[in-house]
Structure 1
Amino acid sequence: MKGRVLGIAHLGIAVGDPRQRLGLWADLFGLPLERSEAVASEGVRTWFLDAAGVDVELLEALDEQGPLARHLERRGEGLHHVCLATDDLEALLARLAAAGIEALPPGMRDGAGGCRVAFLHPRDTGGVLLELSQAPRTTPDDGETGTEDPFRPGTLVVAYLRDPRERVVGVIRSRSADGLALEGLDLEAWEDWVSQWARGERGPLAPSLQFFPASRIDKLLADQDTADLPSLQRRFEERTHRRLAEGLPGVREHDR
């Protein structure tokens, strides 16, 4: 049957200050932050944390007149919606329409992470705002190259920034036309952070999550081995005898 529900994709939580709430979900609960991106069509910025297969999505209102801002004004922070994953959104919506359940306007649209999404009104679902989401294709159609994005989330990079000039090394959490969410630290502090780990210490230096608008990004360099120099990741692991993922959860590891 097309349009099957595959499971719960995420729980959407409306928040006033996402950075304050990340202190709970990421710092205290220890959930790795996967990505953050603005969804212009919804007037929100999303922050996705991995909770062992079911994401927690923190929702920040960017449009003061948008639906999320109105929700926060009426009801305050809290659970906003439950998102169900489906293998065929169009087929699922057609089956629901045949049963008299219509998607909220404008129906299917683009959502976070390249997904196609639609929402169902709580009056049709027992009081719960439901989001239905179909993930983007993971395999290319005939004629497409299927080239993998070298700067996808999880990649360790050095970001060269302007106004002011900075160099930041960290793991990409999200990247879009709006900019780059990077969890890391200043390149000049990298060696001190590695030395700290080599001594078995976890402070005072620590990576932090930062968002850099596209206008500030001069260039990105992916961390990789060269003929003359091992990668930053490899040097970290050789000096500390620990995996870099312990200090930067979710980083894509090099082949060993």
Structure 2
Amino acid sequence: MPLHLPFTPGDLVVVVLNAPRERLWGRLLGLEAAGIALRGLDLTPWEEVLTLVRTGDADQVALGTRFLPMHRVEALYLDEPSSGVPSLGQIFLDRTGLDPAAFLGPAPDPR
């Protein structure tokens, strides 16, 4: 019986990686046993990203499409509000005025 996960292509997610430790935010493009395909960015410069986008310099943001091998994935979270704290997508919208899904690019083609 297949495992039904709450993750579908197009969802906004946060991925925590190990070796080296990284936190990424973006649009899930695919999820399989080998790894995760993601279009997004590293969360280390989150405040700088928000500032660049808000001031019209979004082209300076290091946005990319990556394949993350499963052996590096420590955790995968849906980007959703939790315990009264807004999601990163909501924070992005509130601080920049841009829809995070539009910023990250179109939803993947479900081939």
The one-letter amino acid paired with 2:6 is P
1:236 is paired with a residue of what secondary structure?
Answer: helix
* Residue in structure 2 matched with residue 167 of structure 1 by the alignment: 23
Q: Aligned pair 1:199/2:55, yes or no?
A: yes
Map 1:57-68; keep pairs closer than 5 Å: none
- TM-score scaled by length of structure 1: 0.38
Instruction: State the distance in 2 between where 1:246 and 1:181 align.
Output: 18
* Residue in structure 1 matched with residue 33 of structure 2 by the alignment: 177
The one of the two structures with greater contact order (alpha-carbon pairs below 8 A, sep at least 6) is 2
Contact kept in structure 1, 2:16 and 2:73, CA below 8 Å: yes
Deviation at 1:213, TM superposition (A): 0.8
Q: Aligned pair 1:230/2:86, yes or no?
A: yes
2:40 is paired with a residue of what secondary structure?
Answer: strand
Contact kept in structure 1, 2:27 and 2:101, CA below 8 Å: no
Deviation at 1:224, TM superposition (A): 0.5
Deviation at 1:206, TM superposition (A): 3.0
Instruction: State the distance in 1 between where 2:17 and 2:60 align.
Output: 24
Instruction: State the distance in 2 between where 1:149 and 1:207 align.
Output: 26
1:183 is paired with a residue of what secondary structure?
Answer: strand
* Residue in structure 2 matched with residue 13 of structure 1 by the alignment: none
In structure 1, runs of 5+ residues without a counterpart are 1-146, 252-256
2:45 is paired with a residue of what secondary structure?
Answer: helix
Instruction: State the distance in 1 between where 2:98 and 2:104 align.
Output: 11
Task: Give a deviation string over 1:111-135, Cα, whole Å, max 9, x none.
Answer: xxxxxxxxxxxxxxxxxxxxxxxxx
Task: Give a deviation string over 1:172-192, Cα, whole Å, max 9, x none.
Answer: 111111100111111112221
* Residue in structure 1 matched with residue 43 of structure 2 by the alignment: 187
2:26 is paired with a residue of what secondary structure?
Answer: strand
In structure 2, runs of 5+ residues without a counterpart are none
Instruction: State the distance in 2 between where 1:151 and 1:190 align.
Output: 23
Instruction: State the distance in 2 between where 1:164 and 1:188 align.
Output: 13
Identity %: 36
Runs of 4+ with >6 A deviation: none
1:203 is paired with a residue of what secondary structure?
Answer: helix
Map 1:58-207; keep pairs closer than 5 Å: 149-207=5-63
The one-letter amino acid paired with 2:94 is E
Structure-2 change in CA distance of 1:249 and 1:149 (3 Å): farther
Instruction: State the distance in 2 between where 1:204 and 1:248 align.
Output: 14
Deviation at 1:195, TM superposition (A): 1.4
